[in-house]
Structure 1
Amino acid sequence: MTENPLDLPPECWELIFNSLNDQSHFESLSLVSHRFLSITNYLRNSLKLTDPSTPFLPHLFNRFQNLKKIDLSEFQGDPNSILYLISRSGLDLESLNISNLKSFPFMGLKELGTKMKNLKELNCSKKFSFRDSDLIAVAETCEFLEVLDISYPENDSSFLPQGFQNIQSFSFYITDSGIEALSMKLKRLKRINLSGNFFITDKSLMFLSSNLVLLREILIRDCDFITQSGISFAMRNSPNLVSISVNGIGIPTIDSCFKESFAYARGLCEIDLSNSFISDELLRLLGEACLPLKKLVLSHCYNFTLAGISFLLCKYQSLEHLNLEAANFLEDESMIDLSKFLTSLNFIDLGFCAKLTNSTFFTILRECPLLSEIKMETTNLGLDDFTTPLVINPQVKSLHLARNGNLSDESLKKLAILCPNLEVIDLSHCLGITEEGIGEILKSCCEIKCLEIKRCRAVFDLGIDLELPKLEVLQASGSALNDHALKMIANTCSRILHLDLDNCLNVTTSGVKEVVEHCRTLREINLRWCDEVNVDIVAWMVFSRPSLRKIIPPCGFAPTESQKNFFLRHGCLVCKG
């Protein structure tokens, strides 16, 4: 009797399915058999909701009973109603994203907080007006939170207080009073993102570091009234602090108290000082602090020199993540010297370093064997050449090389050979490349999952007619892709999930139909500014490709509420063109 290959133990199938990077693949697997449907239902732990058809949602929650994360950031209906449904679903949520909403769902969150005692992570960032009363409501209803994001609220700024002295009495923003109340309630908080809350001051950092013993990560970017004094206090009085992210400090100089505070933060692993005035003296003090530093971000910092960063990197040769974006003093010769200290790196960002060329790229490929991701956007990549032997680096999975005007097809051929296991490559705005170079990348790097060729106006197709079973995301907005390219995609990209054709003027209705008919896993497609695509195609797309979850139609298509709801009932969100 022949064994059925599907008769593996459930544990084996769970391991196989969990090896997939994206749970969206569960949808097609669930169609194979009832057994696969049961396994994928059990394994799904996250869900993003956009459909306001709340009567159907209880069935969804009953189907996926092990959900731990729910994302409502693109939810189209009443957030209070959906939170009521979640609270009564019997789920045991650990993470909830209610960012981007127009108003704070106070009643729904209160109801959910009484039921979900294991809710550890809450994202309330962006869009809705957020004030002290909302913050206090969060603290009172979700008392077991460990991670809280209240960054960048879009408050109504039409009524600004007259002078800083009136801020505490102004009720439309988060203030130090709200942060103090939060710090007295959320005793388990480990990570907080306060970025973009313009009216909090150093007092907020003092409340947090004095009252929250478990606090490990603080993000306070774009907080105008936070000073070096407050940051110093936090580093000196937060014994478990491992990560701090600030920006715009040190103008005109960095005071001694701030410099000395690094010696107190003995557990700091991650430091982000983006857009700051950084002296070599500070870098030397940081190097001498002997921290367990793994991540350093000095993006768009200024005033420091090669000598300062060399000293620091020499001290931290176990660094794994380095961002030196816009360090304009860097040259190919200096990167040859610095690379000797970077053997442990798995990420490097050298974007906007205009003096760096091919030589730097090939140097870090050779000297940094653990590199997984390289960013060299807006450099002089494509110029110069490297005379010493080139080394293949199989660890590199992601290359971000956008806006390199000198990058050529010949350069791409070398990249393809040296980085054979690439999964993500961004070549947007590289005007010197054509489909020949793209074809070389796709032919040599058979693991490519995401290809970005936005605004590559010399790229008319993918330059290859071979099967691309791994390609899932194609960002091609503003490129010269045409119907021939779409036919090629339809025939070779069997697993494409996301296709962005925004402003692809050579694309027509015929080409789009080819893709929709043949790409059975397609979930999102963007056709904005595709003037040759007929708007009448939208309804046909929704009914012809059941896998579609989001369509951005050509300009001129403005679905009525009735039409939008009709499409949503078929599982697809159709936006306004």
Structure 2
Amino acid sequence: MDLPEECWELVFNLVDHRHRFSSLSLICKLFLSITNDLVTTLAVSRPTLPLLPDLLRRFSRLRKIDLSGLDGDVDPILSRIAESELNLEELDISNRKNLPTHGLRALGSKLKSLRRLNCSQIGSLRDSDLNTIAELFPLLEELDISYPELGLSDSCSFLRPVTDVGMLSLSSKLKGLRRINLSGNHFITDQSLVFLSKDCLLLGEIVIHCCDFITQNGIAFLFRRCANLNSVSVSGIRFSLDDSTFHDSLLCAKALRVIDFTESVIADELLYAIREASLPLNKLILANCRGFTFSGISFLLSKHQFIQYLDLEAANFLTDDSMFELSEFLRGITFISLSMCNKLTDSTLFCLTRNCPFLNEIKMAGTNVGAKDLSFSTGSVANARIKYLNLAQNRSLGNESIKHYATLCPNLQMLDLSNCEGITEEGVFKVLKRCPEIRYLGLNQCIGIKTFLVDFELSNLEVLCARGSGIDDSGLALIGNRCPQLLQLDLTGCLNITAKGVKELVQSCRALREINLKWCNNVNVDIVAWMVFSRPSLRRIVPPCGFVPSESLRNLYLRHG
């Protein structure tokens, strides 16, 4: 206890999950005070509303409040937050029917420090709402107004969407805007990008997915006018280099580090132009793009050999041989997605582990991994940096293959084998034996998994997703005995489990916070009450079908957290 408080703060900052602070805070008043100060984010749910005034006083260093999980009127809540005098920097009010204007006015009158505002999925978002936001929070640096149509309150809202007029008002008042997400606003045009380019000189990142009237001309204008632009994310654009305008605009984008052209139509000429522009590119996303070939992507990557993030999902021209060539240009890569590239096999996986020494995450879902004989991989090299491996939807994948991958990636923390029908508990046992650091294990729809044959403790496993698997009561009992730190368990559609197995698991997993029993038709709904009172750590329960609690019972459960 003689250690200075500042040192304890450094120690506690190494804790990977903030929910573990609840245990530390019980040790002594000093630890309670320190953990209170280190909590900077609060997600408000309906059960926490009665405690909100106390929480706002307790966590005086809150910087972000998330109200996206609340339904109904949040104006009174925003007014309460305004009275707390917190130095709030970020607010999430997404997933609402309407913008909570009254609450925001109360907040804006007292809170001048707000820098980030999330208003995504606001049902009836209008031009006047954008003007209100800009007037109330003139110092905003990040704004999300994406996908307003997802929460439309009535059909009349179609008559008052966000348009270029609202964007003109917004851009003229938010001179310090650095990031904006406009996705799903179908009535804005290239003119909105012109307004942003002229007024928001600090704009560094823009996201424009599913905007029907945004074209490459608007994007080209951004490139020419926004000297600080470092990230552009668009989708569904048909790029053409018939004239030199777009090509010349790329030469002006000297700060561009991130390019995301998801689901767009691009040609090799565009990739040639990106290479010629000599951009400081470190992230490239061409997921589900059409029109380009191996020649174009190879030519681009040969110039940008220090790219760190690459997504080529559904680039079906890729083969094992072509990936061998590309891997020579990926020496600095940390993330790669080759999902849905159905010509790729084990050869590509082994090539990446061998040739990419900094690789941290590999996504090869829906490929042909597991189809080749493993005898060719005798020269493969283990890569201790790889922490995440997604091999879901590989129908050819079997136990022998994943045993070998576990040897190549001994420090795995996340492994997804969902929809791999050839995987059984024998293969999973070998993987867990060789990769003791695994925290997330995805076994969804793995019908070959019946039990959980593990005779050693999995002290790091925190999340187990086993939706639609063949797991039974004996498997649940083993999970409970072997996974003391399990936090989340998804058993959706597991028809072989009963209340008996669930009870054994819940009794053993003292840290369990979430359990999903949806469509577990053989689990009695009475198990819900038992779980609420038997496992205080639980925060979220998705009950079996047929569970209809009375109002008094619902309130009782909510009072238990």
Deviations 1:410-469 (A, max 9, x none): 111111111111111111101111111111121111111111111111112333121111
Q: State how far apart, in whole Å, the 2-side matches of 1:23 and 1:530 are.
A: 31
- Check the 8 A contact 2:120/2:145 in 1, yes or no: yes
Q: Choose 258-267 or 522-531, whichever is displaced more.
A: 258-267
Q: Determine whether 1:299 maps to 2:316.
A: no
Which of 5, 30, 38 is the equivalent residue of 1:10? 5
Which of 412, 417, 424 is the equivalent residue of 1:434? 424
- Check the 8 A contact 1:198/1:224 in 2, yes or no: yes
Question: Secondary structure of 1:263's match?
Answer: helix
Identity among equivalent positions (%) equals 54
Q: Determine whether 1:423 maps to 2:418.
A: no
Structure 1 residue 522, shift from structure 2 partner:
1.1
Structure 1 residue 157, shift from structure 2 partner:
9.1
Q: Choose 556-565 or 63-72, whichever is displaced more.
A: 556-565
User: What residue number does 1:31 align with?
Assistant: 26
User: What residue number does 1:310 align with?
Assistant: 298
User: What residue number does 1:574 align with?
Assistant: none
Q: How does 1:533-544 map to 2 (within 5 A)?
A: 533-544=523-534
Structure 1 residue 509, shift from structure 2 partner:
0.6
TM-score (norm 1): 0.93
Which of 336, 355, 375 is the equivalent residue of 1:348? 336
Report the residue type matching 1:237 in the other structure. Answer: R
Q: State how far apart, in whole Å, the 2-side matches of 1:204 and 1:360 are.
A: 43
Structure 1 residue 44, shift from structure 2 partner:
0.9
Q: State how far apart, in whole Å, the 1-side matches of 2:255 and 2:240 are.
A: 28
User: What residue number does 2:205 align with?
Assistant: 217
User: What residue number does 2:118 align with?
Assistant: 123
Structure 1 residue 51, shift from structure 2 partner:
2.2
Structure 1 residue 136, shift from structure 2 partner:
1.5
Change (3 A) 1:489 1:340: same
Q: State how far apart, in whole Å, the 1-side matches of 2:244 and 2:66 are.
A: 44
Q: Determine whether 1:230 maps to 2:218.
A: yes
Q: State how far apart, in whole Å, the 2-side matches of 1:402 and 1:254 are.
A: 40
User: What residue number does 1:132 align with?
Assistant: 127
Q: Determine whether 1:200 maps to 2:174.
A: no
Which of 434, 441, 444 is the equivalent residue of 1:451? 441
Q: Choose 172-181 or 94-103, whichever is displaced more.
A: 94-103
User: What residue number does 1:164 align with?
Assistant: none
Question: Secondary structure of 1:262's match?
Answer: helix
- Check the 8 A contact 2:97/2:153 in 1, yes or no: no
User: What residue number does 1:287 align with?
Assistant: 275
Q: How does 1:536-575 map to 2 (within 5 A)?
A: 536-571=526-561
Deviations 1:463-521 (A, max 9, x none): 31211111111111111111111111211111111111111111111111122222121
Structure 1 residue 190, shift from structure 2 partner:
0.3
- Check the 8 A contact 1:156/1:172 in 2, yes or no: no
- Check the 8 A contact 2:239/2:266 in 1, yes or no: no
Q: State how far apart, in whole Å, the 1-side matches of 2:432 and 2:171 are.
A: 52
Q: State how far apart, in whole Å, the 1-side matches of 2:459 and 2:243 are.
A: 56
- Check the 8 A contact 1:228/1:255 in 2, yes or no: no
Q: Determine whether 1:150 maps to 2:145.
A: yes
Structure 1 residue 251, shift from structure 2 partner:
6.2
User: What residue number does 2:383 align with?
Assistant: 393
User: What residue number does 2:474 align with?
Assistant: 484
Question: Secondary structure of 1:271's match?
Answer: strand
User: What residue number does 2:77 align with?
Assistant: 82
RMSD, matched Cα: 1.7
Question: Secondary structure of 1:296's match?
Answer: strand
Report the residue type matching 2:283 in the other structure. Answer: K
User: What residue number does 1:185 align with?
Assistant: 173
- Check the 8 A contact 2:511/2:537 in 1, yes or no: yes
Q: State how far apart, in whole Å, the 2-side matches of 1:58 and 1:210 are.
A: 43
User: What residue number does 2:258 align with?
Assistant: 270
Change (3 A) 1:205 1:157: farther
Q: State how far apart, in whole Å, the 2-side matches of 1:500 and 1:31 are.
A: 30
Structure 1 residue 256, shift from structure 2 partner:
3.4
Q: State how far apart, in whole Å, the 1-side matches of 2:453 and 2:291 are.
A: 45
Structure 1 residue 316, shift from structure 2 partner:
0.3
Deviations 1:284-308 (A, max 9, x none): 1111110000000111111211111
Which of 400, 403, 410 is the equivalent residue of 1:410? 400
| Structure 1: gaps (5+ residues) | 1-5, 162-169, 572-577
Report the residue type matching 1:182 in the other structure. Answer: L
Q: State how far apart, in whole Å, the 2-side matches of 1:538 and 1:284 are.
A: 59
Q: State how far apart, in whole Å, the 2-side matches of 1:411 and 1:316 are.
A: 33
Question: Secondary structure of 1:341's match?
Answer: coil
Report the residue type matching 1:51 in the other structure. Answer: R
Report the residue type matching 1:45 in the other structure. Answer: T
Question: Secondary structure of 2:252's match?
Answer: coil
Structure 1 residue 253, shift from structure 2 partner:
6.9
Question: Secondary structure of 1:210's match?
Answer: helix
Which of 334, 338, 360 is the equivalent residue of 1:372? 360
Q: State how far apart, in whole Å, the 1-side matches of 2:505 and 2:529 are.
A: 15
Report the residue type matching 1:133 in the other structure. Answer: S
Q: Determine whether 1:259 maps to 2:247.
A: yes
Q: State how far apart, in whole Å, the 2-side matches of 1:53 and 1:345 are.
A: 43
TM-score (norm 2): 0.96
